[in-house]
Amino acid sequence: MTDAVAAAPPPAIVLVRPQLGENIGKAARAMLNFGLAEMRLVSPRDGWPNPDAGPAASGADIVLENAKVFETVAEAVADCAFVYATTVRKRGLTKEVVGPEKAAQDTRSRAGRTAILFGPERSGLETDDVAIAQTILTVPVNPEFGSLNLAQAVILFAYEWSKAGVGEAAAFDNYEGPAPQADVEGLIGQISTALDAAGYFRVETRAPASRRTLRNMLTRPGFSAKEVRTLRGIITALTKERN
């Protein structure tokens, strides 16, 4: 028999390479309006802290004060069991695509920490950023005018997350919870190293695409921590030198 797991922690909002301090502040304001307070910043263009963020946050100072800065997306989501990438563009990646309402409901009902990635204001997330996520989060905007600013994108998810928690008594069974992203990264690295040794990536021009496909395959299922440990043990056994 398994024990009921407490409600999942609120998701972390990860702003990837944000460009303007004002937009970071507005995103913080949007978050706190609906009960989200954990902001993570990946390589903000103008550094951190940014003097333009505070006035734009309109009192959401606690979000800015506690914001953590990371150099890479992988580092920012290393402790997260599930990652969503927000994008409106087709990426050539085979991933489930959901809207804010479904993402918010799933975030409320699954064990482990979730991260929501938001890209730079001008260009959005890069394909390699999206490849880290298990699921793509998109908004069904007007196809002739799909321009959302950063704070608008954040508030759409934050509102749905808040709404999904009304009257909720979240409890669910999960024997140990899904694997943190860092564990999945370890699995990907181990398989990649083994494939290198076997000469799988022998065509250099195709290697980046092949590695991206491998990452996509391994992030999609949402393995539990136990499943990752099992897979890593299998790979070790298969690649171990025999006397």
- What is the residue-level pLDDT of the chain in tens, covering all 243 positions? 334 345 678 999 999 999 999 999 999 999 999 999 999 999 999 999 999 999 999 999 999 999 999 999 999 999 999 999 998 766 667 789 999 999 999 998 888 899 999 999 888 899 999 999 999 999 888 877 777 889 999 999 999 999 988 754 444 444 466 788 899 999 999 999 999 888 888 888 888 898 998 988 888 877 888 888 888 888 888 888 754
Q: Are 185 and 80 in contact (CB under 8 A)?
A: no
Which pLDDT belongs to residue 169?
43
The helix (run of H) or strand (run of E) holding residue 70 is strand 68-70
Start-to-end Cα distance in the chain:
42
Structure tokens at 121: 């204001």
Which pLDDT belongs to residue 90?
61
Which pLDDT belongs to residue 133?
94
Which pLDDT belongs to residue 171?
42
Which pLDDT belongs to residue 68?
97
Which pLDDT belongs to residue 135?
94
**CATH code for the part of the protein at 4-168:** 3.40.1280.10
Q: Locate CATH 3.40.1280.10 in the chain.
A: 4-168
Q: Name 25's Cβ contacts closer than 8 Å, sequence gap at least 6.
A: 52, 53, 54, 55, 56, 57, 58, 60, 64
